[in-house]
A and B are shown apart, each in its own frame.
Chain A
């Protein structure tokens, strides 16, 4: 028997390795998100001042809606036989949740970074107070990863129900969306962003606790 943190690290390694080999996030999800950033101005208007003000908002909506696909990727899922193997291997379900959520968070952070560059290029966004982004981006990625992983675990083993994940995730991602966009807004206006960071941290914490506590009942309910 191995400790839970060790097991979580093994799951993280497995997920990152599988993503590295299939490139699902890199070659599918990221380009898809980038196209969304390109399409929206075609629909709402392409004048620079308008895009400069809409840019951060569009960016975060695309990150939240398209980022769900990271948690839904095929190479991040376990089929029935793989879940059986994991259950019998002595893997603690909480370790599996933590490992998968961490892998999703890292992939989402990559997704945010690439799309961030695309959005700056397309929308000419300002980067006032950019050092704070070093906190905002990882926290938002972790929050969304936890939400997506939890939703993916809830629909796991329900055959073909993965299409449900975005519906379960999107309404509950409101605090993350507000936290991220309002932090950027506060930075632009030179206000404090700590309150909004706290909101995102609380979301993260409740989701992490919920995911860890429900991991075992969800695994055993198949």
Chain B
């Protein structure tokens, strides 16, 4: 295990005809919490998916939790990564409980744990409601519940505050704090500068394919 959680050295990433990163370097140390800012379309989501090992860099050297992103071994660190994207990942036809339970069973957890995770995000009262009938904020909370099932070393959040009420926003802060207290790392892509500044130690701007600290 390296001393850093994420180590990007001269990393380039191209998707189709779009250059997302151009020789970008970035590190994330244990206990660190970083805010990722950037204008619309600058590639924040893609960068988060890259850190989440869901994409491979097209150039440079990228290590996440000790795994080289260019190598197949990157899939071995996935169970330590918690990622909540900004697109809905719940199945709309299934209830919040079924969605959480599905995640639990895939990773060898029990239905009781799924129910407790829902309770932890304040959704135990809505567990039997189908995701399609829930508000955006409720679906968000249910996705946080899925992350809570296996506490991650690396927490990646994409626009976590959108559509959240004060309680849910406090939940995001608490989750991030728990990860950093365990010497994990957090990256939050957001436009909500004020709120994110409060909960991070460092800011990185993504613009024109480069990362500026």
Q: Do A and B bind each other?
A: yes
Contact between A21 and B93, CB atoms less than 8 A apart: yes
- B89 lies within 8 A of chain A by Cβ: yes
Neighbouring A residues of B53 by C-beta, 8 Å: 88
Task: List residues of A whose CB falls within 8 A of some B CB.
Answer: 1-2, 6-7, 10, 13-14, 17-18, 21-22, 75, 79-82, 84-91, 220, 222
Closest 3 CB pairs between A and B? A81-B89, A81-B87, A21-B93
Chain B residue, CB-CB nearest to A89: B106
Given contacts A17-B98, A18-B91, A21-B93, contact A84 B52 (CB under 8 A): yes
Task: List residues of B whose CB falls within 8 A of some A CB.
Answer: 49, 52-56, 72, 75, 78-79, 81, 83, 85, 87-89, 91, 93-94, 98, 102-103, 105-108, 130, 146
Give CA–CA (A13, B49) in the complex, Å. 28
Neighbouring B residues of A10 by C-beta, 8 Å: 102, 105-106
Neighbouring A residues of B72 by C-beta, 8 Å: 220
Chain B residue, CB-CB nearest to A22: B93
Residue in B49, B56, B87, B93 whose CB lies within 8 Å of A17:
B93
Contact between A88 and B83, CB atoms less than 8 A apart: yes
Neighbouring B residues of A81 by C-beta, 8 Å: 85, 87-89
Neighbouring A residues of B85 by C-beta, 8 Å: 81, 84
Give CA–CA (A91, B83) in the complex, Å. 15
Q: A18-B93, A89-B106 are in contact. List 19 more A-B contacts (CB 8 A).
A: A2-B105, A21-B130, A80-B87, A81-B85, A84-B49, A84-B54, A84-B89, A85-B103, A85-B146, A87-B78, A88-B54, A88-B78, A88-B83, A89-B107, A90-B106, A90-B107, A91-B106, A220-B75, A222-B55
Neighbouring A residues of B91 by C-beta, 8 Å: 14, 18, 82
Neighbouring B residues of A21 by C-beta, 8 Å: 93-94, 130
Neighbouring A residues of B55 by C-beta, 8 Å: 222
Distance from B108 Cβ to chain A, minimum over Cβ atoms (Å): 4
Distance from A34 Cβ to chain B, minimum over Cβ atoms (Å): 24
Neighbouring B residues of A84 by C-beta, 8 Å: 49, 52, 54, 83, 85, 89
Q: List 14 A-B contacts (CB under 8 A).
A: A10-B102, A10-B106, A13-B102, A14-B102, A80-B87, A81-B87, A84-B54, A86-B106, A88-B52, A88-B78, A88-B79, A89-B106, A91-B106, A222-B55
Neighbouring B residues of A2 by C-beta, 8 Å: 105-108
Chain A residue, CB-CB nearest to B146: A85
Contact between A17 and B94, CB atoms less than 8 A apart: yes
Neighbouring A residues of B146 by C-beta, 8 Å: 85
Give CA–CA (A14, B72) in the complex, Å. 28
Give CA–CA (A88, B81) in the complex, Å. 7
Contact between A82 and B106, CB atoms less than 8 A apart: no
Contact between A222 and B54, CB atoms less than 8 A apart: yes
Distance from B193 Cβ to chain A, minimum over Cβ atoms (Å): 25
